[in-house]
Amino acid sequence: MRRVRSGVETRERRGRLRPLLAAARSASSDETPTLHAPRHLIRLHDLTDSELEEVLELSTRRKLRPGVNELEGRSVGMLFFRGSLRTRASLECAVNGLGAHAVNLTAMSDFWELEERDGSVMDGRSPEHIKDAAAVLSQYVDALAIRPSATGRSWDVDRRDAGISSWARHASVPVLNMESTLWHPMQALADLVTLREHLGTLPGKELAITWVRSPQPASASVVHSLLHAALRFGMKVRLAHPAGFELDEGVLAEAEKLAQKSGGSLEAVSSLEEGVRGAAIVYARSWQSIESYGNPTLAASQRSRATDWMLTESLLGETDEGKVMHAMPVRRNVEITDEVLDGPRSLLVEQAGNRLPSQKALLVHLLRHA
């Protein structure tokens, strides 16, 4: 069940929101503003094509002329159940830069484990249910940005993204996904901005998404969100990875549909050389294997067999003057060589920089209409 803010509590907020609401909703009644379900951003698909276009254009305009305190007096709660550098810093700066306030809450150091399962008898470690934490925090802030944790043990369990879904189900303010097991929509937004800055229009342009080696696998969420975003915009995507690193079947099936609809294409290859050949952009990520998910010994052995999957300058000679992207953190001389990272091909710093204006655009879009 969705909790609705009590009428009395709501009045404090409504006073503040009224001018914004007036602009956004023509026929809304003053008595029932909370009946509108909050707009969440769990994945990029939660934005329609025209909304996505609006956010992307706003990102670019915002780089040319930053807005001033458009969200003054608003606040965003940021809850981290895993570590973060870029996301934490860029989102907090985006929030502050719009005149709003960021409230940081780090699980483990600041508070406690939360229960996710509905109906559970809570006599174990967790003293609080997400349901209650979400309902309470929704009364303090205007949006909740969440970086949930995952079990790391079972792909079938983790791919359900129960953590972020629970927050979305129980919060009465917009929930923003700061990277779950399946999706990383804010990274995909910055990626789209970066791709458009370098390629102009996207339809028909060649994007290589390639696995690279690393002693420590990263989440596949970045790749999932990018894959769908690129195909939605009609790009020709080549997906390169060693055997055993196939992406989630559900994600791939949806990707195929997006390609058919947009006129884009998706091709999977098992060679790094073949993957990058002719690409305009090579996007690297050392995603974890579903085959060895939850089995660190098997996973380490699997990765150790793929030591040649690294982006080097000579390899990238095969591209069409290809640029390199990576969501970072990047392991130098393991995933990508210093030569590439410090040379003219690298878009990494610019790409990370695009988190700031694109997240500002997203916040303005979501909260202006909230």
With binding defined as CB under 8 A, does residue 116 bind a second copy? no
Nearest CB to a second copy, comparing residues 64 and 253: 64
Stretch that binds a second copy, among 90-98, 151-159, 203-211, 271-279 (CB under 8 A): 90-98
Q: Which of 86, 95, 92 is nearest to 361 (CA)?
A: 95
Q: Identify the residue among 133, 143, 175, 290 touching a second copy (CB under 8 A).
A: 133
Among 19, 27, 29, 124, binds a second copy (CB under 8 A): 124
Among 49, 53, 57, 132, binds a second copy (CB under 8 A): 132
Residues 137-156 that bind a second copy (CB under 8 A): 137, 139-141
DSSP structure class, residue 73: T
Q: Which x/- pattern over 46-85 shows residues binding a second copy (rule: CB under 8 A)?
A: ----------------xxxxx------x-x-x--x--xxx
Residue placing its CB nearer to a second copy in the complex, 103 or 252: 103
Q: Distance (Å, rounded) from C-alpha 271 to C-alpha 241?
A: 7
Which C-beta is closer to a second copy: that of 49 or that of 308? 308
Q: Which lies closer to a second copy via its Cβ, residue 24 or residue 300?
A: 300
Measure the CA–CA gap between 104 and 27, rounded to whole angstroms: 35
- Please report, to the nearest 10 degrees, the dihedral formed by the alpha carbons of residues 282, 286, 287, 289 taken in order: 120
Distance CA 325, CA 280 (A): 11
CB 275 within 8 A of CB 210: yes
The minimum distance between CB 90 and a second copy, in angstroms, equals: 5
What's the distance, Cα to Cα, between the start and end of the chain in Å?
20
Q: Is position 96 an interface residue for a second copy (rule: CB under 8 A)?
A: yes
Contact pattern for a second copy over residues 308 through 347, marking x by CB under 8 A? --------------------xxxxxxx---x--xx-----
Q: How many residues belong to the site for a second copy (CB under 8 A)? A: 82
Among positive and negative, which fits the CA dihedral 323, 327, 329, 335?
negative
Q: How far apart are CB 141 and a second copy at their closest, in Å?
A: 6
Residue 349 tokens, joined: 């710093």
Helices (H), the chain: 7-24, 49-64, 86-97, 130-137, 155-158, 162-170, 185-199, 221-232, 249-262, 272-276, 296-304, 313-316, 338-341, 348-353, 355-368
DSSP sequence for 251-296:
HHHHHHHHHHHHT-EEEEES-HHHHHTT-SEEEEE-BPPSTTTT-H
Interface residue with a second copy among 6, 154, 201, 301 (CB under 8 A) is 6
315 SS3 class: helix
Binding to a second copy (CB under 8 A) within 296-315 occurs at none
Q: Please say which residue, 119 or 314, places its beta carbon nearer to a second copy.
A: 119
Residues 19-48 that bind a second copy (CB under 8 A): none
Smallest distance from a second copy to CB 182, Å: 21
Peptide bond into 174 cis (omega under 30): no
Residue 357 binds a second copy, judged by CB under 8 A: yes
